Amino acid sequence: MPTDNGTILIVEDEWKIARFIQMELAHEGYTAVIETNGRRALDRIMQESFSLILLDVMLPDLDGLEVCRRVRELSGTPIIMLTAKDDLDTKVQGLDIGADDYLTKPFAIQELLARIRAALRKHKAGSPDGAGPELSLKNLVLLPDRFEVLVDGKPVELTKKEYDLLEYLIRNKHVVLAREQILRTVWGYDYIGDSNVVDVYVRYLRSKLDEPFGQKYIHTIRGVGYVVKD
């Protein structure tokens, strides 16, 4: 059973759902608390320490996307969005502003628990103590200990998921990575649904890296996936 995982904050305005999740987490050995209001949840997050946040999108006073955006300005605490909104644009928006994962209601509790474990593992593995030295690709430098990307010495603004994807590709330089493999590693679980989320994020990276700097960093291997090359 989990130990020393801190406290999980469940931000969900449907009390029955929140209480069900809380009981299931307690059964697995986690400590979990509930907040039903977006603004109050943000206040608690700013004042208390949580190991992970389960965050609904549609909340009173302050919606989950805005809560996530504000949390990401100050904290790297893992955030898993829980919502009935399953359109790709909303998912991409949630991931873009810093959510680590996105689960659509209704969901199986076993899948939620698996994603919680994956997010906690990924967060622990990605802590600054284990970040390691800088990585390079052509005229691009990635600094894991500072979560920064520089091209020709100029900083490039990336979202968390864009950064995670780029780091994974560079750490596997010259290795062709299948979309499913990228999903499992970067998104931290066996992704069920549209695998084109990888293609979407590759396009985002290309628009911020390839096009402005006149380089081709990420190559498409038709029918397989992607690879980066010097």
| Sequence-ordered list of residues with C-beta below 8 angstroms from that of 84, at least 6 positions apart, any chain | 57, 58, 104, 105
Among all chains, which residue has been given the structure tokens 């810093």?
A: 98
Cβ-contact 149, 137 below 8 angstroms = no
Question: Is the bond preceding residue 128 a cis peptide, omega within 30 degrees?
Answer: no
Question: 159: part of which helix (H) or strand (E)?
Answer: none
Side chain identity, residue 99: A
Among all chains, which residue has been given the structure tokens 């593995």?
A: 125
Residue 172 has pLDDT above 70, yes or no: yes
Q: Rounded CA gap, 180 and 185, in Å? A: 9
Cβ-contact 105, 82 below 8 angstroms = yes
Among all chains, which residue has been given the structure tokens 């069900």?
A: 20
pLDDT of residue 23: 95
Among residues 194, 198, 189, which one has the least CA distance to residue 224?
A: 198
Q: Rounded CA gap, 223 and 212, in Å? A: 27
Residue 5 has pLDDT above 80, yes or no: no
Question: 103: part of which helix (H) or strand (E)?
Answer: strand 101-104
Side chain identity, residue 61: D
Residue 32 has pLDDT above 80, yes or no: yes
- pLDDT tens profile 60-111: 999 999 999 888 877 778 999 988 866 677 777 778 788 888 888 888 999 9
Lowest-confidence region among 9-13, 98-102, 128-132, 215-219 = 128-132
Q: Rounded CA gap, 88 and 197, in Å? A: 8
Task: Please tell me whether the overall predicted TM-score, pTM, comes out greater than 0.75 for this model.
Answer: no
- pLDDT tens profile 9-28: 999 999 999 999 999 999 99
pLDDT of residue 4: 43
pLDDT of residue 133: 67
What is the DSSP-derived secondary structure letter of residue 129?
G
